[in-house]
Amino acid sequence: MRLQRQVVDYALRRRSLLAEVYSGRTGVSEVCDANPYLLRAAKFHGKQSSVMCPICRKEQLTLVSWVFGDHLGPVSGSARTAEELVMLATRYDEFAVHVVEVCRTCSWNHLVKSYVLGAPRPPKARGTRSTRKSARTASE
């Protein structure tokens, strides 16, 4: 989606966490803790990826996109499909999208990336030089 702004990729954190699991420093139960709501969202709103689960290696991971924003109202905090994200981006001001990968077999889940969609906020008006100068003299 070309409207994505402020994209943050969590691949390094994912790789670090998996290294901890594979070495035994972090237990599998600590990373395979998807709640039932996330698992249901993966089933109904998720998009299957080509990546196999790094923990159980039994199925391909499902990507779930969650939306958050003050202007979204009751939609905020819910899972949305790619089509719904496009529709929301045309209707609302800026909102955040968090993409989570989840394994419906072993409950592995991890934040993959986050980004901003929606109409960008207009830049705040900056004070003019004369305004700043008068503010200084008024306080003196």
Is the separation of the CB atoms in 107 and 39 below 8 Å?
Answer: yes
> Could you tell me the pTM of the whole model?
0.79
Is the separation of the CB atoms in 1 and 85 below 8 Å?
Answer: yes
pLDDT in tens, 6-30: 888 999 999 999 999 999 999 999 9
Range of the domain at 108: 35-121
State the pLDDT at residue 123. Answer: 63
pLDDT in tens, 79-135: 999 899 888 888 888 899 999 999 999 999 999 999 998 876 666 666 555 555 555
Asked if residue 137 is part of any domain, the answer here is no
Asked if residue 93 is part of any domain, the answer here is yes
Asked if residue 13 is part of any domain, the answer here is no
Please state the domain count of the chain.
1
State the pLDDT at residue 35. Answer: 94
User: Mean pLDDT throughout 23-46?
Assistant: 94
